[in-house]
């Protein structure tokens, strides 16, 4: 049963669990009681979608079984940006009319995780200005004096807003190849996992044919058809997208965000915004192992006040890195936490489609005729409102990488004034890396005993600073080179490289660092995993984790659908636990 707290006990617990030295004030109320507490701050693995998956599944169950609606409290380190909680920002008309503008939204949303301290000497700085001494280093805004540049995930970043990266993700939801879920099938059998993946597709509102009538989409398919005459056995498909054409205006698309997953339950639970989840713990710091978690310590970032959340069940779904920070603060699974990290490698280029492809556009197409009539000075036969291409080449054992040939906004790859964006196609090839225990994140030592914190480097939110130790094996490097060769071959069938976007490996050797997996992997043993097949932390009956960090495999395909599928199984486990307690 949940603990009951007097004001004296609250003060005692806040002092015991406090995360920072300054005096803490009591919030009003100083503690909150609920049935389920979800820490879902939204970074890295689109994890507000994971939080939403847990919340939606639990609330649907209660309604279907005529149970009292469980009280759910969710804390998010970000603010609510927009009228719709967790909505995809690309649903705004201005971004659908000019996708390159959306690049600025993504750039503005991302905050770096670990920045190696560079040489801060500035020869042109005035002599009276403050500057670090030679032996000193900057430690703010993600600067990390412990980070070795050659072992970093240079582009690793988080999005701190309600909805997290689900506010700007590509919505690509492929089903991974069996080679991408070897370890996963040891934990969740294949038939069960296949069923969960299909269920996740429904929850995410995944469709594969929303772009079939796009002129540009079909031009890319024609170019790929020509290319694949040279590659027997390879196929291309439409990207399964968490998106749907609007019924009221087919020119626009509704992209899935956390609001889609929550459905009618959106805004029906308590959402604490700009609230940092510091740790979870127990009333008695000398608790026995395997005892249920009793409370969470959270901080209102606006006031600096701390409060305690008392609940029956706790779910931490804050992304592949922040979830580890909370568990580390809580002294949970420290021996395994952050190990077995994997990240995708990535090659990228942009091409301007061949003239022969553009010339193949049917001049009798009514859309083309109307466009020519309305815009006689436009040299292209493609209407301005024509939707972008959305094609993919699936992962195969012979070609072990995932390919997306499309046109979308990223924090790179904007076209600007260099070319007409209707002629530009993006090629993004995603590779996987070998799963190694040695690839990991670790955190600065912020605490000694449960009641005593030691000085250490923190991030800008006061959580332990994360340091990456990631390298790629020789086999990874060879596979990456094959992937690059494959990309250049296919690109040449579609067109010529856009100047400035020639073939390149993206942002840091390990990859673009947006799909980190494995940091709190699920598995059958506490010796090499953080949680079990139900995403429940080993040894703690009422604590679950969610997000890409659960995935125990290296994956080339986008991992969101798989993470949601795993969360669906975890949510059922939460239901089984809380049902007798309601």
Q: What residues are labeled active site?
A: 515, 558
Q: Are 184 and 193 in contact (CB under 8 A)?
A: yes
- The number of beta carbons lying within 10 Å of the beta carbon of residue 573 is 18
User: Which helix (H) or strand (E) element contains residue 468?
Assistant: strand 466-469
3-state DSSP call for residue 127? coil
d(Cα 215, Cα 217) in Å, to the nearest integer? 5
**Of 47, 29, 5, residue with least CA distance to 165:** 47
Buried b / exposed e along 378-411 (16+ C-beta atoms within 10 A): eebbbbeebbbbbbbbbbeeebbbbbbbbbbbbb
Between the alpha carbon of residue 247 and those of residues 154, 210, 254, the distances in Å are 41, 11, 10
Between the alpha carbon of residue 52 and those of residues 85, 399, 564, the distances in Å are 11, 34, 9
Q: Are 43 and 338 in contact (CB under 8 A)?
A: no
d(Cα 552, Cα 228) in Å, to the nearest integer? 33
d(Cα 317, Cα 333) in Å, to the nearest integer? 16
Q: Are 324 and 459 in contact (CB under 8 A)?
A: no
Lookup result for tokens 């790179």: 412
3-state DSSP call for residue 82? coil
Q: Are 97 and 141 in contact (CB under 8 A)?
A: no
**Of 87, 42, 445, residue with least CA distance to 277:** 42
DSSP state of 90: G
- The 3-class SS string of 158-206 reads EECECCHHHHCCCCECCCCCHHHHHHHHHHCCHHHHHHHHHHHHHHCCE
Computed from CA positions of residues 325, 326, 332, 338, in that sequence, does the dihedral angle turn out positive or negative? Answer: negative
Dig out the tokens for 263 from the structure: 């459905």
DSSP line for 409-444: --SS---GGGS-GGGEEEEEEEE-----TT-EEEE-
d(Cα 291, Cα 3) in Å, to the nearest integer? 13
Give the sheet arrangement for strand 306-310, strand by strand.
Answer: 26-33, 306-310, 295-300, 275-281
Q: Do the bridges between strand 313-316 and strand 543-545 make them parallel or antiparallel, or are there none, so unpaired?
A: parallel
User: Which helix (H) or strand (E) element contains residue 95?
Assistant: helix 93-97
């Amino acid at each position: 049963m949940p603990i009951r707290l007097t004001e004296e006990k609250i003060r005692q617990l806040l002092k015991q669990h406090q995360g920072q030295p300054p005096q803490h004030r009591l919030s009003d109320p100083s503690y909150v009681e609920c049935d389920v507490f979800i820490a879902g701050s939204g970074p890295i693995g689109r994890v507000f979608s994971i939080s939403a998956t847990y919340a939606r599944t639990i609330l649907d169950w209660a309604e279907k079984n005529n149970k009292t609606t469980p009280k759910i409290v969710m804390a998010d380190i970000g603010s609510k940006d927009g009228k719709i909680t967790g909505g995809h920002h690309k649903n705004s008309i201005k971004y659908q009319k000019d996708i390159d503008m959306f690049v600025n939204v993504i750039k503005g949303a991302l905050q770096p995780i670990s920045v190696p301290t560079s040489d801060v000497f500035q020869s042109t700085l005035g002599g009276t200005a403050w500057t670090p001494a030679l032996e000193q280093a900057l430690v703010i805004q993600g600067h990390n004096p412990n980070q070795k540049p050659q072992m970093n995930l240079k582009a690793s970043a988080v999005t701190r807003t309600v909805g997290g990266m689900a506010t700007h993700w590509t919505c690509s939801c492929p089903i991974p190849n069996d080679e991408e879920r070897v370890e996963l099938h040891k934990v969740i059998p294949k038939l069960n996992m296949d069923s969960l993946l299909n269920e996740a597709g429904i929850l995410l509102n995944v469709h594969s044919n929303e772009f079939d009538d796009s002129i540009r989409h079909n031009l890319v398919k024609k170019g790929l058809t020509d290319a694949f005459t040279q590659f027997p056995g390879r196929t291309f498909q439409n990207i399964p997208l968490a998106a749907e054409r609007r019924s009221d205006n087919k020119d626009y698309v509704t992209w899935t965000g956390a609001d889609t997953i929550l459905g009618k339950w959106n805004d029906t639970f308590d959402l604490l915004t700009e609230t940092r989840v510091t740790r979870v713990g127990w009333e008695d710091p000398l608790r026995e192992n395997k005892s249920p978690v009793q409370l969470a310590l959270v901080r209102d970032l606006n006031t600096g006040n701390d409060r305690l959340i008392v609940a029956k069940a706790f779910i931490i779904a804050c992304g592949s890195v922040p979830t580890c920070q909370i568990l580390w603060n809580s002294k949970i699974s420290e021996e395994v936490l952050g190990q077995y990290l994997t990240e995708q490698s990535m090659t990228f280029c942009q091409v301007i489609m061949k003239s022969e492809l553009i010339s193949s556009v049917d001049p009798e197409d009514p859309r083309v005729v109307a466009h020519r009539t309305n815009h006689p000075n436009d040299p292209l036969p493609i209407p301005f409102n024509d939707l972008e291409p959305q094609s993919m080449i699936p992962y195969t054992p012979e070609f072990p990488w995932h390919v997306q040939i499309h046109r979308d906004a990223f924090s790179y790859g904007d076209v600007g004034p260099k070319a007409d964006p209707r002629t530009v196609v993006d090629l993004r090839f995603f590779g996987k890396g070998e799963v190694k225990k040695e690839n990991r994140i670790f955190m600065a030592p912020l605490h000694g005993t449960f009641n005593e914190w030691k000085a250490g480097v923190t991030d800008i939110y006061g959580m332990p600073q994360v340091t990456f130790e990631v390298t790629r094996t020789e086999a990874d490097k060879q596979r990456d080179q094959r992937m690059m060769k494959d990309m250049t071959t296919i690109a040449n069938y579609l067109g010529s490289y856009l100047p400035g976007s020639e073939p390149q490996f993206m942002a840091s050797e390990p990859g673009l660092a947006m799909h980190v997996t494995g940091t709190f992997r699920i598995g059958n043993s506490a010796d090499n995993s953080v949680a079990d097949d139900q995403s429940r932390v080993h040894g703690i009956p009422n604590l679950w984790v969610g997000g890409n960090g659960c995935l125990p495999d290296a994956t080339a395909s986008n991992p969101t659908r798989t993470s949601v599928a795993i969360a669906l199984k975890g949510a059922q486990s939460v239901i089984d636990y809380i049902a007798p307690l309601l």
